[in-house]
Structure 1
């Protein structure tokens, strides 16, 4: 079964600057969970948009056929790191249909917060 879309957006993005608890498990982070149910590897380009500066990207991500990949925005480094403590949005373009879910772990306080939502697709 092939499910998904080729264009996705996450309008809300923010990597908290602080964390409590052991790393890497409890490090405050944002993640895009990408599911590829096709028989082909998915080649995904990710762009990051800001309210007060030009976008950065593309970040190039490969999700193997019939696999899932969790991409931490904190770990993105090329073409540059995604800034902490800054609002942003993200747009994904894939060459095959994929499904994308967004998750944030905010562990700035011991009573951590977890948010998860489906990205917008078209």
Structure 2
């Protein structure tokens, strides 16, 4: 399999709604980084979160096995500290091997859910 992607990615727009409607956990409002590793090597990924009013937090460490995908919910990132809800943020994602990153948000604050998805910016 050919290796696709880049080692550095940026998601400039992040926001986890502070509440949602519908059954948990499927309809919990969330942000996700969908990380695809097509290489033959395990990807060690670090995520750093940036805010408008305080210093960056991170790195959050994630492993994506070779030739696998991992969907990382920002809501589930706890170490070094939970990513706050109801707060604007951005992030930088850095990997030891090239990966592809897609950003997705489920906003379930209304009964009519909204899903946003976009490819992240790569460097």
- In the alignment, the residues of structure 1 paired with residue 65 and residue 79 of structure 2 have an alpha-carbon distance, to the nearest angstrom, of 20
TM-score, reference length from structure 2: 0.99
Residue matched to 1:58 = 59
Match of 2:122 in 1: 121
**3-state SS of 1:117 partner:** strand
Q: Distance in 2 between matches of 1:23 and 1:103?
A: 18
Q: State the partner residue of 1:68.
A: 69
Instruction: Report the alpha carbon displacement of residue 96 of structure 1 after superposing the two structures with TM.
Output: 0.2
Q: TM-score, normalised by structure 1?
A: 0.99
In structure 1, the residue matched to 2:46 is 45
Number of residues of Structure 1 aligned to a counterpart in Structure 2 = 122
List 4+ stretches of structure 1 deviating above 3 A.
Answer: none
1:78 aligned residue: 79
The offset of 1:20, in angstroms, is 0.3
- 1:94 is aligned to 2:117: no
Q: Which runs of 5+ in 1 are unaligned?
A: none
Matches within 5 A, 1:23-38: 23-38=24-39
Give unmatched runs, 5+ long, in structure 2: none
